[in-house]
Amino acid sequence: MSEAVIDLRNVRVVAGRRTILAVDALSVAPGEFVAVIGPNGAGKSTLLKTVLGLQRAAGTVRVLGQAVGDVGPGAVARLRRRIGYVPQVLAGRSELPLTLREVVAIGRTGTAGLGRRLRADDWRRVDDWLARLGLAALATQAYGDLSGGEQRKGLIAKAMVQDPEILLLDEPTANLDLAWRERIVETLDTLFADVHATVVLVCHDLEVIPSCGERLVVLEAGRVTAEGSPAKVLVPERVAGLYGANLEVLHRGGRYTVVPRQGGAA
Amino acid sequence: MSVDLGFWAPVLVAGALAGASTGLLGVTIIGMRIPFLGVCVAHAALAGAVFGSLAGLTGQWLLVPALAAALATALALGLSNPQTLRADVNVVMGLLFSLTMGLAFLGIGLFDRFGRSANEALGLLWGSLTFCGWRDVAVMAPLTAVEVAFVLVFYKEMRAILFSREHAAAAGVRVTLVWSAFLVLASAVLTVNFKIVGGLMIYSLLANPAAAAFQLVRGYGRALALAVAIGTVSGVGGFLIALAARLPTGATIVILSSALVAVAAVVARVRGRVRRHTAWPGPSADR
């Protein structure tokens, strides 16, 4: 097996007196699509920020062969340019004058080099990804004027213009309606098939995991409590622990959903 | 009415430079919702000037400790990690503001003990555009040129930081480096402007041109250009109106720049209404 692109050993993140992440060992192989599930406060977002070096952590975090905590700010910046990150929180402020095209271009800003202008090729990539994600008509709109789903797709485009070797997605469908959720999931499925990047998707709901999600990691109270294929992880006892005793997981067309158990309590 | 151009020409140029330089800063400072930065830097500069005055410095030399204190505050702000401190940048500014204000008042309280007057140090916050000379313009002009050069060189980095420091850092932008450099430059520009044209005018030129530009245009470059233009028009236009109507200069500039925000808001509303009546339901209509 080739070397893991993400490798965490004895990683601890402490906030105040509370340990919010305690991962003894977690690896992601090149080209894998890993979905990290768990309840609120399980440490899922912290896990992604730790991988990016945005969150200080004790232990060893190796990403793309580099130990994140042991390198200087320049090396960390260079490493981050190889990782696309779609954060959970949207930064769209109503007064912000930036257009969607300018926000997507942030993905090329680090790669282009400090103090250098974006080249025609950078803008071509920006326009390509806007078109691929169906956002071309909105390119010159103010980012703050777009709907939540459009902003979320814009952030995915921002991550993709980096040509990332790893894509980290933090609840990319949070607060979106069903139609937008499905559009985003479909986009992720297509991206994974087209780009072959390693993807780590953090989510609450199983419905968000696209059919390409071949490995699940369950995070509870900062600890990895289970990992493996969905069939191995989503056993009735664990589903009951995660979602409630009266629920069961259905598997349809490569996707998963949680529904009330037939004949269960009302 | 005869106008003594020899006297008023540097005032006019200083008004234009103050409007342009603070208008340029305002796009980032207002866009990032940290207008308190101006007040924070002003009190840090005041504390520096007070202790410089206590140490025996006078005249233009007071700018040296004032600048040093403003730069130190800006660097503390730029290098502080909100995550480690578990405090938002506005909270950190509040802490620094109260600390520097406390230091300034402590220093002012010591003047009596040394038998000196605090007037010169206090004058740092209360400069007046009316008394600007070519010597002041000679300080403002190169600093404005450096500011313009900085924004041109780090245009794309500043655009990314304006969107979100975390997003920019996650995309591999050298945020701490560029942001700290910007804060240092902003403190220098603000401190010099406080000393030369006065705090009230600078606070308004920091906020109003950017706020007006955000109402009217989309795109970082356009917002920068329009904020500079509105700042310059406020500085020069306010001065000319004050001169013609024999009104206080600073107050007239402040009121003109505030009026321009109101005009921009009205234009934006009217334009939005016209667009709603004429536009087809575009791709965003399903939001």
Give the minimum alpha-carbon distance from B160 to chain A in angstroms, rounded to a whole number: 5
- Cβ distance B159 to A109 less than 8 Å, yes or no, reads yes
A50/A12 Cα distance (integer angstroms): 10
Residue boundaries of the structural domains of chain B? 5-198
CA distance A142 to chain B (A): 6
CA distance A118 to B155: 10
A126 contact residues in B (CB cutoff 8 A): none
Q: Which region among A81-90, A93-102, B110-119, B185-194 has the lowest average model confidence (pLDDT)? A: B110-119
Task: Supply the pLDDT for residue B25.
Answer: 95
Average pLDDT of every residue of chain A: 88
Predicted confidence (pLDDT) at residue A164 exceeds the cutoff of 80:
yes
Choose between A250 and A112: higher pLDDT.
Answer: A112
Asked if pLDDT for residue A124 goes beyond 90, the answer is: yes
Interchain proximity B223–A145, CB inside 8 Å: no
Q: What is the pLDDT of residue B123?
A: 67
Range with lowest mean pLDDT among A240-244, B53-57, B79-83: B79-83
Give the rounded percent of residues in chain B with a pLDDT score beyond 70: 90
Supply B141's token pair: 């002009």
- pTM equals 0.88
Q: What is the pLDDT of residue B278?
A: 64
Q: Could you identify the residue written with the tokens 């591999």? A: B172
List the 193-222 stretch of A: residues with Cβ below 8 A of B. none
For the domain A1-82+166-234, what is the CATH superfamily, name and number? P-loop containing nucleotide triphosphate hydrolases (3.40.50.300)
Q: Where are the domains of chain A?
A: 1-82+166-234, 92-163
Q: With beta carbons less than 8 A apart as the criterion, state whether B115 and A76 touch.
A: no
What pLDDT shows up at residue B3?
A: 64
Q: What is the pLDDT of residue A34?
A: 94
Write out chain A residues lying below 8 Å of B23, CB-based: none
Residue A183 at interface with chain B, using a CB cutoff of 8 Å: no
Provide DSSP, B66-131.
Answer: HHHHHHHHHHHHHH--HHHHTS-HHHHHHHHHHHHHHHHHHHHHHHHHHT---HHHHTTT---GGG
Higher pLDDT, B44 or B1: B44
User: CB within 8 A of B23, min separation 6: which ones?
Assistant: B205, B209, B210, B227, B228, B229, B230, B231, B232, B234
- Quote the pLDDT of residue B283: 42
Confidence of residue A15 (pLDDT cuts 50, 70, 90): confident
Whether chain B has a CB inside 8 Å of the CB on A109: the answer is: yes
Q: Any idea what the Cα angle at residue A62 is, between residues A2 and A105, rounded to 5°?
A: 95
Cβ–Cβ < 8 Å for A28, A4:
yes
Q: Looking at residue B197, what is its pLDDT?
A: 78
Q: Please tell me if residue B246 touches chain A, with a CB cutoff of 8 Å.
A: no
pLDDT, position A88: 80
The CATH-assigned architecture of domain B5-198 is Orthogonal Bundle (1.10)
State the average pLDDT over residues B150-175. 95
Summary mean pLDDT of chain B: 86
Mutate to test the interface with A, among B86, B89, B164 (most CBs of A within 10 A): B164
Q: Tell me if B168 and A137 make a contact (CB, 8 A cut-off).
A: no
What is the Cβ-side half-sphere exposure of residue B130, based on CA atoms within 13 angstroms? 10
**Per-residue pLDDT tens digits for B239-287:** 899 889 988 888 899 999 999 999 999 999 998 877 766 654 444 433 3
| pLDDT score of B18 more than 90 | yes
For range A88-96, the mean pLDDT: 69
A 10 A CB-CB count for B128 gives 15
Looking at CA atoms only, how far is residue A150 from chain B in angstroms?
8
At residue B281, the pLDDT reads: 45
CB contact under 8 A, B173 and A77: yes
Chain A residues within an 8 Å CB radius of B155: 117
Q: Flag the least confident range among A123-132, B52-61, B80-89.
A: B80-89
Residue among B106, B100, B139 nearest B21 (CA): B139
Q: What is the CA radius of gyration of chain B?
A: 20
pLDDT greater than 60 at residue B191: yes
pLDDT score at B113? 82
CA–CA min distance A37, chain B (Å): 22
Q: What is the pLDDT of residue B287?
A: 37
Question: What ranges in chain A are assigned the alpha helix state H?
Answer: 44-52, 73-80, 100-112, 120-132, 148-160, 178-195, 230-233, 236-243
Cα dihedral sign, B9-B11-B14-B20: negative
Higher pLDDT, B89 or B101: B101
Show Cβ contacts of residue B171 under 8 Å, excluding neighbours closer than 6 positions. A80, A81, A85, A106, A107, A109, A110, A158, A162, B160
Percent of chain A with pLDDT over 90: 53
At residue A65 the predicted structure's pLDDT band, cuts being 50, 70 and 90, is: very high
Backbone angles phi, psi at A68, to 5 degrees: -60, -40
**Helix ranges restricted to H, chain B:** 5-31, 36-54, 63-79, 82-85, 89-114, 119-122, 134-153, 155-163, 165-170, 175-197, 199-216, 220-245, 249-278
Minimal CA separation from B285 to chain A, in Å = 9
Listed in sequence order, the residues at least 6 apart from A98 whose beta carbon sits closer than 8 Å to its beta carbon are A142, A143, A144, B159, B162, B163, B218, B219, B220
Per-residue tokens: A132: 């691929």
Average pLDDT over residues B5-18: 87
pLDDT tens-place string over residues A190-245: 888 887 789 999 988 888 888 887 899 999 999 999 999 888 888 878 877 777 77
Name the residue facing B214 among A95, A114, A138 (closest C-beta): A95
Percent of chain A clearing pLDDT 70 (strictly above): 95
pLDDT band for A90, please (50, 70, 90 cuts): low
B128-134 average pLDDT score: 81
Nearest CA in chain B to A51: B170
State the pLDDT confidence band at B114, using cuts at 50, 70 and 90. Answer: confident
Chain B residues 171-210 with a CB less than 8 Å from chain A: 171-174, 176-178
Average pLDDT over residues B218-227: 96
Query: Taking CA atoms, what residue in A is nearest to B164?
Result: A91
Residue B16: per-residue pLDDT = 93
- Token pair of B281 as six digits: 């339901």
Q: How many whole angstroms separate alpha carbon B187 and alpha carbon B73?
A: 9
Contacts across the A-B interface (CB distance below 8 Å): 131
Position B230 pLDDT exceeds 50: yes
pLDDT at B286: 37
Predicted pLDDT at A63: 96
Whether the CB-CB separation of A135 and A81 falls below 8 Å is answered with no
Read off the pLDDT band of A266 (50, 70, 90).
very low
Q: Output A75 or B132, whichever has higher pLDDT.
A: A75
**B21-30, B53-62, B114-123 — which is least confidently predicted?**
B114-123
The verdict on B157 touching A (C-beta cutoff 8 Å) is yes
C-beta atoms of B167 and A158 within 8 A: yes
Q: In chain B, which residues have their Cβ closer than 8 Å to the Cβ of A91?
A: 163-164, 166-167
Beta bridge partners of A167: A84, A199
Q: Angle, nearest 10°, between helix axes B5-31 and B220-245?
A: 140
Residue B18, Cβ density class (10 Å: 0-12 exposed, 13-18 middle, ≥19 buried): buried
